[in-house]
Amino acid sequence: MTGVPTQPAGSEVRSTNRGAGRALVAVYGIFALAATARASVQLLTKFEQAPLAYLLSALAGVIYIVATITLARGTHTSRRIALIAIIIELVGVVSVGTLSVLYPEAFPRATVWSTYGIGYGFVPLILPIVGLAWLWHTRAS
Partner 1 sequence: MIEALAYVVIALAGVAVIWGLVTAVANKPPGKAQLLFAAGVEIVTVVQSIIAAAKLVAGARPVELATTIAYLIGIVILIPIAWLWANVERSRFSGIVLAVAALGVLAMTIRLLVLWAPAP
* Chain contacts with partner 1 (rule: CB under 8 A): 1-3, 5, 18-23, 25-27, 29-30, 33-34, 37-38, 40-41, 44-45
CB of 137 to partner 1, least distance (A): 14
The residue among 21 and 117 lying less far from partner 1, judged by its C-beta, is 21
Let me know: does 127 contact 88? Beta carbons within 8 Å.
Answer: no
Helix, strand, or coil (residue 78): helix
CB of 74 to partner 1, least distance (A): 11
How far is 76 from 11, CA to CA, in rounded Å?
11
**How many Cα atoms within 13 Å fall on the side-chain side of residue 14?**
16
CB of 27 to partner 1, least distance (A): 6
